[in-house]
Chain A
């Protein structure tokens, strides 16, 4: 037995599609150039050097009819041909259909060579038209073409969807209302044989007419009611009219509204973006109801029903002789279409198949039953000798990059096409010549991949030796990587009064860099006008796992009270964006949400910015910290650490003295030298005390883990257990980093898990409620606090714990923000 054909093609007047039968099911190939769609507009555009088929060609159909051809299916089998101005040649409907079929071949991503297919034809096609379709298939490179009538294909799709191996004898109508054409056919099945008995159609009726009606009959009159226009309709519809661009915009909005009306009873259309004759901006929302829309399209739908009536009369049938009306074509999604057919004809409408792909699906089912009448040849011709030597910049900051290639081998009859992998660019099919030059548009900030494919005359892929084309845009591949992490010094909420580092750019990131905006709540307020009040933003270079003092400051910015236009409260947000240019300029942009004020500063590493006051403060802090560490190590009888720290103490004292003696307007390099020394000492302290910090965070982690485990057993849910197990399973990995910060992060995660569970614990909630009661005096709104506490007392009596949780949240919201933070740390839950 031969191989089955398996491929089915709906070669439609307006849209085409391709499907394949695979192991009992049919897959519809999606359009690689028009993702999300399974169909290809049956339109072909010719330019001097290339052919474009599909939606891109369709865009130019109306405006460049001399070079772009559509709806040529209607002319199949006639002697008429289309004169194409751009190439100064005529193309027959057969040749144009062959182009569509070739394009459909590129949908097939399974790597198969398409040599046979079932192609559908309208029920109205005569022998000449049918043969012309077959011819188009052969021209497109198929060795075998089997034809199938569209209503039968749709019926097959339905039958297969129903999984009825054999349909019962009977007859029905196939009602096919697409974007631009309408067809209806009477289909009969008898003794397992399905055939079309009669048909009617209108080649100029479809969904596009409905969009037009919405704009013309609803939008334009309503706009003119509220605004002054002399002749809005003609100004919109005329190609040279001043509102012509808006006409297409509103057509699109009308189409969207039409789609919404298929599922909802009303839709709104926003009309804006134009000025009326008096210079008033048009800005109205027009509500269109389903009944208004139904009224608009009624005459059109009734005309389709008249055609059905003709068929019924001609065939001496009663509506009850027909089982159903099978709905095909995108416009049959409109409920009114289905309801009107049912209402007038009293025949059940059947909407069980996908109206846009049913014909291709049916064709594929049919193809599965048809055998290939020839044997597959060896695919040796695929090993082509085409060699392509390409030359292009692998990194570019331009919007477009020139791709040049030299091609060798037998190029006769071959075409090429370049597409961008994200679907944003398609060169169209172009003749392959010895030299190719193409401007490739790039999406910035990403790696752009392009594929150059070579096709033979039948659009079969010809293998070449060219790899994928990759161009990095936005940052140069040869750019410089940063040698160290770049961090921001932020408050360490776990150790109040201390700071930690937040990684902004990781070591080896390629310049230029720009961070996303980083938001923090401020840990203190700023009073307007008070120059002594300040917040600082400190950018540091060095490992993000180290102590802030151990890293090199590369950007520093202060915002003082006298720079702001209103008081800033503690807890309000600050947003920071950092960027580093290729020449290492560091720009900091700081935005204070509450003041709606932005501060910007650019630092050049050559001009190291080290304010002396800030340096003194840091040296004092470090000196104090060193004393504490020495004391702690001596108390613990850790003499080894204490000795190393004592050695550092001497150096620290020198730095301390020298810094103290600096005047704030010192112009020498002394401050930088001292800063370096300070940093080196901090690094040494970091090293000497790392074990201590590690032990501390480890202890903390295990304590948190134990508490969490207990709470999980009492109150945990599956999600929390999974979260807990995930953290615990990574334990060995994050302990192996020996980084206190990493381990602390995991403790924090456990802590937040614990907090979540605590809010379901009666003990915790009673305790929290008591705490809130005791702190009532601090609350902002005493009367609200009182009523919440009264409600809380009742809920405690009733043991209504959900309610108590809500009340506690309410009470905490009444506390000043700072107090809430204290509560968080003291009672040990995060909000």
Chain B
């Protein structure tokens, strides 16, 4: 029972494209300084993707902006900016981590179906 086995779920690219677009809107809306409730609509769409669209399948994403980065993070594909590569931080998220959760009986399995594409930079720079 100690061999590496990963759950690989293949999902149609069009779902990932849609989730990526929601992420983009989410990102852009957070730059709008005027008070608004766009976030609510985004959350609703995210909610639909996570729970309502399919009976036993759901998609959600995570924006790792500002999180630590090291080579153990296989949930991100990183490009290192700057000269230093110690004490790295995610400074730019081009695509988010997309999870797909599948319900099997009473158990919910969550798998990464898209790695985040990020740019990282050392905090020591």
Residues of chain A having any CB pair with chain B under 8 Å: 30, 32-36, 45, 47, 52, 55-57, 59-60, 62-64, 106, 109, 111, 239-240, 244-249, 251-253, 273, 417, 419-428, 441, 443, 445-447, 451-454, 461, 463-464, 466-468, 516-517, 575, 591, 596, 598
Within B1-47, the residues touching A (CB, 8 Å) are: 1-8, 10, 37, 40, 43-44, 47
Within B80-125, the residues touching A (CB, 8 Å) are: 80-85, 91-92, 94, 97, 99, 101, 107-113, 115, 117, 119, 121
A245: chain B residues within 8 A (beta carbon)? 81-82, 91-92, 119, 121
Residues of chain B having any CB pair with chain A under 8 Å: 1-8, 10, 37, 40, 43-44, 47, 50-52, 62, 71-75, 77-85, 91-92, 94, 97, 99, 101, 107-113, 115, 117, 119, 121
B37, B40, B82, B110 — most chain A CB neighbours (10 Å): B110
Tell which of A36, A249, A420 touches B92, judged by Cβ atoms closer than 8 Å. A249
Q: Is the CB of A422 within 8 A of B121?
A: no
Q: Is the CB of B51 within 8 A of A516?
A: yes
Query: Assuming the A-B contacts A35-B112, A109-B5, are A423 and B74 also in contact, with contact meaning beta carbons closer than 8 angstroms in the complex?
Result: yes
Q: Is the CB of A425 within 8 A of B119?
A: no
Q: Is the CB of B97 within 8 A of A424?
A: yes
Tell which of B43, B44, B108 touches A446, judged by Cβ atoms closer than 8 Å. B108
Bound-state Cα–Cα, A56 to B75, Å: 10
Q: Is the CB of A62 within 8 A of B4?
A: no
Q: Is the CB of B83 within 8 A of A447?
A: no
Bound-state Cα–Cα, A451 to B72, Å: 14
Query: Assuming the A-B contacts A423-B112, A446-B108, are A59 and B79 also in contact, with contact meaning beta carbons closer than 8 angstroms in the complex?
Result: yes
Bound-state Cα–Cα, A435 to B10, Å: 37
Query: Assuming the A-B contacts A245-B92, A423-B74, are A575 and B83 also in contact, with contact meaning beta carbons closer than 8 angstroms in the complex?
Result: no
Tell which of A422, A453, A467 touches B110, judged by Cβ atoms closer than 8 Å. A422
B8: chain A residues within 8 A (beta carbon)? 30, 35-36, 423
Q: Is the CB of A32 within 8 A of B4?
A: yes
Q: Is the CB of A443 within 8 A of B99?
A: yes
Tell which of B2, B71, B74 touches A34, judged by Cβ atoms closer than 8 Å. B74
A468: chain B residues within 8 A (beta carbon)? 1
Q: Is the CB of A239 within 8 A of B73?
A: no
Expressed in whole angstroms, the minimum distance between the Cβ of B107 and any Cβ of chain A is 7
Bound-state Cα–Cα, A461 to B3, Å: 7
Bound-state Cα–Cα, A287 to B29, Å: 24
A451: chain B residues within 8 A (beta carbon)? 2-5
Bound-state Cα–Cα, A251 to B74, Å: 21
Q: Which residue of B lies closest to A56 (CB)?
A: B71
Q: Is the CB of B47 within 8 A of A516?
A: yes
A-B contact pairs, 5 of them (CB 8 A): A60-B85, A239-B81, A425-B75, A427-B72, A575-B40
Query: Assuming the A-B contacts A45-B71, A467-B1, are A35 and B50 also in contact, with contact meaning beta carbons closer than 8 angstroms in the complex?
Result: no
Q: Is the CB of B94 within 8 A of A249?
A: yes
Bound-state Cα–Cα, A431 to B85, Å: 23
Tell which of A55, A111, A247, A422 touches B111, judged by Cβ atoms closer than 8 Å. A422
Q: Is the CB of A63 within 8 A of B99?
A: no
Q: Is the CB of B92 within 8 A of A424?
A: no
B44: chain A residues within 8 A (beta carbon)? 517, 575
Q: Is the CB of B83 within 8 A of A428?
A: no
Bound-state Cα–Cα, A451 to B82, Å: 34
Bound-state Cα–Cα, A221 to B99, Å: 38
User: What would 8 more interface pairs be, CB under 8 Å, given A35-B6, A420-B74, A421-B6?
Assistant: A35-B112, A36-B10, A60-B85, A63-B82, A424-B75, A424-B112, A443-B62, A467-B1
